[in-house]
A and B are shown apart, each in its own frame.
Chain A
Amino acid sequence: MLGRQPRVAAAPSKRKTSPGRSAAAARSRLLIAALTPFILLSITLAVLIGPVDIAPLTVWEIAFGKVTGAEGDWSKSQANIVWLIRFPRVLLAGVVGGGLAVIGVVMQAITRNPLADPFLLGISSGAALGAVSVLLMGVFGGLGIYALSLGAFLGALLAFVLVFSLAIQNGRLLPTRMILAGVAVSFMFSAVTSFITLSDDSSGAARRVLFWMLGGLSGTQWQDLTLPALALVLGIIYLMGQSRALNALIIGDETATTLGIQVHKLRRRLLVVTSLLTGLIIAVSGAIGFVGLMMPHIVRLIVGSDHRRVLPVSLLAGAVYLIWVDVMARTLFAPEEIPVGIITSLCGAPFFLWLMRRNKDAL
Chain B
Amino acid sequence: MTLKARGLGWSVAAQKIIDDIQLTVETGAFVGLLGPNGSGKSTLLRCIYRSLKPDAGTISLDGTDLLAMPPRDAARRMAVVLQETTIQFDFTVQEMVLMGRIPHKSAFDADTSEDWHIVAGALAQVNMLGFRERSFGTLSGGEKQRVLIARAVAQQSHFLVLDEPTNHLDIRYQLEILDIVRELRVTTLAALHDLNLATLYCDRLYVLSEGRVVASGAPEEVVTADLIYEVYGVRADVATHPRTGRMHITYFPTSVRASA
Contact = CB atoms under 8 A, between A and B. Distances in A.
B51 A260 contact: no
Contacts of B160: 2
B49 A258 contact: yes
Nearest to B74: A260
B120 A258 contact: no
A134 interface: no
B102 A306 contact: no
B68 interface: no
Interface of B: 46, 49-51, 70-76, 78-80, 82, 85-92, 94-96, 98-100, 102-103, 105, 107-108, 111, 113, 115-125, 129, 133, 152-158, 160, 184, 186
Given A3-B156, A24-B92, A252-B85, A260 B99 contact: no
A259 B99 contact: yes
A3 B89 CA distance: 27
B124 A304 contact: no
B89 A305 contact: yes
A262 interface: yes
B88 A258 contact: no
Contact of B153 (A2, A20, A113, A251): A2
A3 B153 contact: yes
Nearest to A115: B88
Of all A-B residue pairs in the complex, the 4 with the closest CB atoms, nearest first, are A260-B75, A9-B121, A3-B156, A20-B116
Nearest to B120: A13
B152 A2 contact: yes
B31 to A, nearest CB: 16
A22 interface: yes
A242 B157 CA distance: 22
B87 A9 contact: no
A5 B121 contact: yes
B102 A114 contact: no
Contacts of B70: 260
A303 B100 CA distance: 21
A361 interface: yes
A262 B71 CA distance: 7
A207 to B, nearest CB: 41
B156 A300 contact: no
A18 interface: yes
A114 B95 CA distance: 19
A9 B118 CA distance: 8
Given A10-B117, A12-B129, A20-B119, A304 B91 contact: yes
Contacts of B156: 1-3
Contacts of A136: none
13 contacts: A1-B186, A3-B157, A5-B121, A20-B111, A22-B94, A113-B88, A244-B102, A248-B99, A251-B99, A252-B87, A254-B51, A255-B82, A260-B73
A247 B99 contact: yes
A139 interface: no
Most B CB atoms within 10 A — which of A6, A250, A362?
A6
B124 A8 contact: yes
A166 interface: no
B108 A8 contact: no
A219 interface: no
A319 interface: no
Contacts of B107: 241-242
A112 B121 contact: no
A361 B94 CA distance: 24
B79 A2 contact: yes
A22 B71 contact: no
Nearest to A12: B129
A357 B136 CA distance: 21
A258 B153 contact: no
Interface in A272-312: 300, 304-306
A350 interface: no
B102 A3 contact: no
B114 to A, nearest CB: 10
A271 interface: no
Nearest to A252: B85
B117 to A, nearest CB: 6
Contact of A362 (B71, B88, B92): B88
A196 B121 CA distance: 63
Contacts of A10: 117, 121
A155 B171 CA distance: 55
Nearest to A250: B89
B102 A261 contact: yes
Contacts of B49: 254, 257-258
Most B CB atoms within 10 A — which of A4, A20, A248?
A20
A162 interface: no
Nearest to A109: B89
Nearest to A258: B80
A36 interface: no
A176 interface: no
A252 B49 CA distance: 14
Given A2-B158, A10-B117, A241 B108 contact: yes
